[in-house]
Structure formats: structure tokens, C-alpha cells
Amino acid sequence: MSPNHSGYTSRDGFQWTKETGLRDGVPSLGVIRPSSNLTSTTRHDLFDVVVIGGGYAGLTAIRDLTLAGHKVLLIEARDRIGGRSWSANIQGYPYEMGGTWIHWNQPFIWRELFRYGLSSKIDISPVKEGGLSKCLVNMEGTRTVKMSHDKEDDISESAIKKFVNVDGRLARTVIPFPHDPHYNREAVAHYDKMSLADRFVEVADEMTPLERSMFEAFLSITCGSRTWEEASFFEFLRWWALMNYNYTDFIALGLTYKFKCGQSGFARHFFDEALETGNLTYVFDSPVSNVVDREGTVKVTTTARGNCGVSATFQGYRVICTVPLNVLYKVDFSPPLPQPKMEASKLGHVNQVTKVHAEVANPELRSVGAFSWPTGKLTYGFGDGTTPAGNTHMVAFGGAHPGVHLQPEENMDETLAAWRDLLAGHKVDIRRVVFHNWHKDEFALGAWEWLRPNMSTKYLDPLRARHGNVLFGSADWAMGWRGFIDGAIEDGGRVAKEASTEIRMARRGNATTSDGKFVVSERSRI
């Protein structure tokens, strides 16, 4: 595939232009053709590992396992890799449909990016120079404040510090080790009990109306919850600690740097490297309906989706399940999943944020940021790039609070109006709109993970635990950048190493793993 190839068209995502109106599906480098490399022989193979899900956790697992010489089957429900992080690649230009931003302080993603020679292939999203160079704040839907980006930073920094500073040390004592988030168990339990609403009560008298309004707008699309009550305050402290406990890095790490090739261009490196080993079998368009772990092997049954999928039962010595938290309970496991795993999945995380891209024929908007709270259906947005046509690419997020939760494909007039509202009357010429509705996505049922109060404390360990020969890897229960791409790579690598070690040791007749925790079934034929 040439560098300018935009890939095949995925069923996922939506695109609107004035000329075509709204259409299902967008081109992406993440679409794999042919959709399977199964043969009549491999269909009945006993694989070393069956990996369910081709997001970054699954991609890391298949890459690590195939490089180590294991025979691997990847099963994916969609027609593309990447899970909740993928790009529409339109005319060679990426629109990030989900997970987007990366940084050299994110260890797992940076190691991979470097390994694939991409460390200088990076673009910058928001810029402060050129064009209007303003921040527009639409307050209460009634009046717009225009300010410089420096003032925007001052207000935002002041607000965020007030929100996190629970210990006079900007939360450093609560989470001294961001990659060991529960290190200070007592403090964590306290702040995990608290909702965002509880924290707002504590700082209500300290914030100015402008600080409060801008911070609420930002926070609403950070957690994507329907109410402040349903989202844990600890999750915000955890983000803050990961972002180096300062506002400058919160912006630098959270929403600044991205791939020139788009996330799907990056994800292809993992898939292609695994495929190149000759050890990867894969099947797309084939959601998993059930997983049966019996007598040392695991059987995984799929149901075809569309014409390309496969309805079949596959088997492996180990299964790595990367199905996201909010849909895990829908897969039928035998023996059934332990109660805490099921409970956590059914409760689910709360993030139902909306993300919408617009290509606008307004070069002056490249350096604009905008807030609209609490009435804006797009709550926070900014210039994200310049398209090959020379137009400005803007990205905006919408919160899920009642009355504002935008479903962009349901009414394009409303979606276009939300853009105009966010840009506070600035005359905008919208040429294209691109998005993925994660709220309605049956394989995700939400965006990046943001847990409810008490869930981190109660469910992190059970979610990371294996279940017999089934291992669970996902950004949703990573230790470090939980809820981020980095966390997916971390956790996919963790379970791949565990499975690989077991299989290697079993083949040597060694009945226990290195940590002595797991005994390979005597009936295993590994």
C-alpha cells in the first residue's frame, strides 16, 4: 500500500459533505483485505493463542506472540483493526475517530512508535499562532467572551489546580507513582469514593464563574459522563498524575501530538509485522458469541457479520480476550466469568462523549479554541490541522449531560448548528463532517474508560485477573495510562508475555509458570 493510499472503506464511521449528504462508512488504512486468511486446513488448527479483538491490546498481543514463534488466530468483530482508536484516511489525510494523541512520556506507545521508525512523523493539533489566535467562550448560551490563548491557559491552569489540589501538593501525595495508581491505598479509597460532584462542592467558593464554566466544559468531555455524580473524582486525579502534575503537560500529553499517518497507519505496523512472520491467521467481521474453556483448550465461537465474516468454532491453548469493559458481559463464557468481572462490566464505565470533525474553509480558525457550556452540544473544540485542500480541520467534543448529548448522524442540521454555536457566531463554511458514534457502537458502547465512584478500588484487580486459560488484556484495566492507547499496549503486552511463557514452559514439560501461580492442565496437549 503506497503512503498516499487511504485504505479501503470501513462500515464504521460517518461522513457528510454538502454534495453527498450523510453517508455510512469512511475509508481507513485500518481496513484489512482480504477479510480473512483462513484456509480449509487452518480453520481446524489448534492455535497456541486465540486473540479476541484487534484494538491496540490485541494487536500488541498478536505481534509479540507471532514474533516469539507462536501460532496465533486473531478474531475481530469489525472490518478493521484499531478498536476505539482508528483514523478515517480521506484523500491521504487522517481524521482521528477515537484515541488520537500521543507523547514521549507515554512509555508503551513511544517504544512502539520508535520501533516502527515514526518518531519524526508527528503533527501538532492545536496551535496558537496564525489566524484569529483566540479562545471563544460561550457562557450560558447567552454571551461570548473572546480571550487570548495566554489568558485561556491562565484561567484553565488556575481552575484545574484548584480542582486537584487536595493535599497542598497538587495530589502528589495521593498518587506518588502514576503507574502504580493504588500505591497509597487509603487516600485512593477516599478520593475514589468521591464523585466529580462531591469535589465541585468542596471548591465551589474558590472558582470564578469563568474558571468554573471553562473547566466544566473541559471536564465534561474528559469524563464524558451524563452527570458529575456518576463519575469518580479519583479518575481525574489519576489523569493529572499521569500528565506530570502540571497544566502545561496536561495539554502537551493529553491533546497535542498525533500521527501524520493517523492511528490506523500506526496500527498497521503491528498487524503487518505479525502477518509477515507467517504465524498469524486472522478473521474479521466475526463477533465472538461464546468462549468455552475445557480440558486444557479453549473453544471460541463466532457469528458472521455480513458477507465476509465466519460462523465457526476455533480453538487454542490460551485465549487473550481484549473485549472492552462495557461489552464484556455480552460474551457468554463457560465456566461463567467470576462475579466481580461480570459486575464491573454490567456497571460499565461512564464515558459517552461525542467527537466530531469538521473541514472548514476558514483558515483563520486553525488557531482557534472554543468552549460552549452548559448549553453547547459541542462543548470544547479547536483547530486540529490543515487538510490537503488547504482548509482548516477542526475537532470538537460534546458532553453527555442531559439535553446536550449529541448523536451527530441523527440530525445533520442539528450537528452543523452545534458547530456554529461552538464557534460563537463566527461565520463558518463547513465542507465536510466526519465522526464515529461510540455511544451507539455495539462493540464499545462508549469511548475511553472513565469509571464510576469506587470502581477503581473495587474492580481493578478482578478485571486484570485471568479466568482459567483465558487472559484479559485491555486499556480499560491497564496499570499506567488506563483508558489510553498506551494502556492498551501495556496490558496487551502483559498478557501476551504470560501466555507465551506458559506455552514455552509447558512444551518443556514444566508444569508451573515462573511465578509458580498457574499449573498447566495435565490434559493439556500443548
| Interacting residues toward a second copy by CB under 8 A | 67-69, 104-108, 110-111, 114-115, 119-120, 122, 177-180, 183, 244, 246, 249, 276-277, 479-480, 490, 493-494, 497, 504
Distance of closest approach, residue 479 Cβ to a second copy, in angstroms: 7
Distance of closest approach, residue 73 Cβ to a second copy, in angstroms: 20
Distance of closest approach, residue 420 Cβ to a second copy, in angstroms: 34
Instruction: Specify whether the CB–CB gap between 145 and 210 falls below 8 A.
Output: yes
Question: How far does CA 467 lie from the centroid of its chain?
Answer: 24
211 is in an annotated binding site: no
Peptide bond into 388 cis (omega under 30): no
397 is in an annotated binding site: yes
Distance of closest approach, residue 294 Cβ to a second copy, in angstroms: 30
Rank residues 37 and 334 by Cβ distance to a second copy and give the closer one. Answer: 37
Distance of closest approach, residue 119 Cβ to a second copy, in angstroms: 5
The angle subtended at Cα 62 by Cα 308 and Cα 25, nearest 5°, is 40
Rank residues 151 and 172 by Cβ distance to a second copy and give the closer one. Answer: 172
Distance of closest approach, residue 207 Cβ to a second copy, in angstroms: 25
Rank residues 102 and 423 by Cβ distance to a second copy and give the closer one. Answer: 102
3-state secondary structure of 341: helix
Distance of closest approach, residue 23 Cβ to a second copy, in angstroms: 36
Rank residues 42 and 501 by Cβ distance to a second copy and give the closer one. Answer: 501
Rank residues 68 and 394 by Cβ distance to a second copy and give the closer one. Answer: 68
CA-based nearest residue to 398, from 447, 369, 355: 355
Cell for 81?
Answer: 483493526
Cα 240 to Cα 181: distance, rounded to the nearest angstrom: 11
CA-based R_g, the chain, Å:
23
Instruction: Specify whether the CB–CB gap between 169 and 187 falls below 8 A.
Output: no
3-state secondary structure of 402: coil
Instruction: Specify whether the CB–CB gap between 359 and 393 falls below 8 A.
Output: yes
443 is in an annotated binding site: no
DSSP line for 119-133: TT-EEES--SSSTT-
The CA distances from residue 418 to 141, 208, 334, 484, 486, in Å, are: 12, 26, 46, 27, 31
Q: Which amino acid is at 360?
A: V
| Residues forming a β-bridge with 75 | 52, 283
Rank residues 63 and 349 by Cβ distance to a second copy and give the closer one. Answer: 63
Report CA dihedral (463, 354, 128, 206) to the nearest 10 degrees.
-70
Rank residues 219 and 320 by Cβ distance to a second copy and give the closer one. Answer: 320
Instruction: Specify whether the CB–CB gap between 229 and 488 falls below 8 A.
Output: no
The annotated binding site for FAD is made up of 76-77, 288
The annotated binding site for substrate is made up of 397
